[in-house]
Amino acid sequence: VLDPSADAPCAPFAHQFVCGNFNDEATVYEFGRNLDVVTVEIEHVNVEALARLKKAGVQVYPDPEILKMIQDKGAQKQFYRLNSLPTSAFFMAENTDELKARSGLKPGVQKLRKGGYDGKGVQVIKSAEDYTNLMEGPSVFEELVDIHKELAVIVARSENGEIKAFPAVEMVFDPKANLVDFLLSPADISKEAMQQAEDLAIKLVKCLDFVGLMAVEMFQDKSGTILINEIAPRPHNSGHQTIEGNITSQYAQHIRAILGMPLGDTAIIRPAVMLNLLGEAGFSGKVFYEGMEKVLAKSGVYVHLYGKTETRPFRKMGHITVTGKTSDEVVAKAMSIRNMTRVISKD
Ligand code: ADP
């Protein structure tokens, strides 16, 4: 594993751990040069190095060209348009002047083409006043979707063309932190919508000739239409619950896809809710997980801590998967658990 932080949660488990910057071409190339297979779990990795590794005979998944396209939200949108994959209307602007001139100062969403992550680099523009706070840099301007539900489908494809999708999940966002704070599996949508979401995800990986695991984030608008929002070519926040909730976890599926093994069964074993454990606002410093004894006393509840030593407001510190017999039971249990615990610091 290559990670910039010496105390990365994965470090103690890796056979070989290299502390280094994955945006640096020489570091990534040196890291991968003697390996058989290289993969990523974040899309912001130096693609020039990955392309050189591929050329040198290392198997690199996802393909560096696809990764490069995904790193640019503008190129992503063009790809959807070119392949008739439904997505919100958009245009691209080089700077804020062009954006203002072309938008007609209508409501919409500004997204920086590069470097955004977890809600950073995305700004919903509701009024003409919001146009005074535009972010600088080349961006995509999207029409505002009248969102009914936010959905995600995780889909895997292997080299021989086998494809399997996990049943769609539904995400509920915390408007303050703009991070998923509650995820329900399966999504509470009709059978037809479930099928439609799966078909879209499968069409997308086929169009891309993608090998690996892909999270496809979608919107279902108030009229029931499903649109693709964005994609992430890796195990994803919207698949954490597969560890306990599905026959195969997204992580096992990722490994199966990139090593050419048969893909695992994606069926749901039991409904699940995934709660992000985010650092509480107002607390920074050495982390303390308040109320964990009460959480652990509940049945069908799985706590995953990422081993980060310091908390900060809204930092992703771990997640809790809550399982049960029915979706209603799971949601009720999850809501009570959310009130039992806080990620704070006593410093
Ligand atoms: P990130 O890459 O940071 O996750 P997203 O593109 O997923 O950024 O946008 C973050 C959130 O902003 C979405 O989950 C959604 O709630 C809102 N959003 C994004 N695009 C639109 C849109 N076109 N219309 C309405 N809301 C949107």
**Cα of 339 vs its chain's centroid, Å:** 25
In angstroms, rounded to a whole number, what is the distance separating the alpha carbons of residues 333 and 187?
17
In angstroms, rounded to a whole number, what is the distance separating the alpha carbons of residues 46 and 24?
6
- Edge-to-edge strand order for the sheet containing 310-311? 310-311, 285-290, 342-345
pTM: 0.94
The CA 122 to ligand 1 mean position distance, Å, reads 7
Among 122, 218, 225, which is best to mutate for testing ligand 1, by the most ligand atoms less than 8 A from CB?
A: 122
* pLDDT, tens digit, 9 for 90 and up, residues 148-162: 999 999 999 999 999
pLDDT at 175 > cutoff 80: no
Using a 6 Å CB cutoff, which residues line ligand 1? 88, 109, 111, 116-119, 122, 124, 142, 144-145, 147, 150, 173, 217, 229-230
- Counting from 1 in the atom list of ligand 1, the atom nearest the Cα of 142 is 23
Beta-bridged to residue 275, according to DSSP, are: 320
Q: What is the mean pLDDT of residues 51-64?
A: 98
- Counting from 1 in the atom list of ligand 1, the atom nearest the Cα of 171 is 14
CA angle 118–119–122, rounded 5-degree value: 140
pLDDT at 172: 81
Residue 176's pLDDT band (cuts 50, 70, 90):
low
Beta-sheet strands, E only, within 306-346: 310-311, 316-323, 342-345
Are 193 and 150 a contacting pair, CB within 8 Å? Answer: no
**Cα of 85 vs its chain's centroid, Å:** 19
In angstroms, rounded to a whole number, what is the distance separating the alpha carbons of residues 198 and 115?
28
In angstroms, rounded to a whole number, what is the distance separating the alpha carbons of residues 335 and 217?
24
pLDDT at 179 > cutoff 70: no
Are 248 and 261 a contacting pair, CB within 8 Å? Answer: no
Lowest mean pLDDT of 17-26, 77-86, 122-131, 201-210, name the range: 122-131
Q: Which residue has its alpha carbon closest to ligand 1 atom 11?
A: 119
pLDDT at 25: 98
- Counting from 1 in the atom list of ligand 1, the atom nearest the Cα of 147 is 25
pLDDT at 180: 59
In this prediction, what percent of the chain has a pLDDT beyond 70? 97
- Counting from 1 in the atom list of ligand 1, the atom nearest the Cα of 150 is 14
pLDDT at 58: 98
Q: What is the mean pLDDT of residues 248-275?
A: 98
